[in-house]
Structure 1
């Protein structure tokens, strides 16, 4: 029976990388121009890790906004 693939929280990986950079005397900044989600995803991709959408708060925010809009239009609920 094959072993299940390991999975990690992508932010844990980002944190490990940042801690390594800090230990080396560097001062990493992620997302200084806005939401850090996309720069973090790019870092993960550079390490060969595919970021998962459910870990991206922007996706959740977009879904909530769309649901609020639908409720407003369908239920006449401001």
Structure 2
């Protein structure tokens, strides 16, 4: 019996770590660097594959690609 690969949103890890640090009296700040990639690396190290859904970078890349397609199609019609 093969088990399905477990996935998890990397931002959930960022949220858990942020609240854990704040609970310990530390005051982590977000900004400047995107913590999504290190969170995804942490998940992989734990044997969990990060899921693309909810990933801002994936969504932005899709939107950018769609804009390129629209520009290519509609610029030919003009």
TM-score bracket for this pair, using the shorter chain length: 0.5 to 0.7
TM-score (ref. length: structure 1)? 0.63
Residue-pair matches, total: 76
**Larger relative CO (CA 8 A, sep 6+): 1 or 2?**
2
Q: Which has the higher strand share?
A: 2
Partner of 2:67: 68
Gaps of 5+ in 2: none
Gaps of 5+ in 1: none
Instruction: Provide the rounded CA distance (Å) in 2 between the counterparts of 1:52 and 1:6.
Output: 9
Partner of 1:39: 38
| Cα RMSD, aligned residues only | 3.0
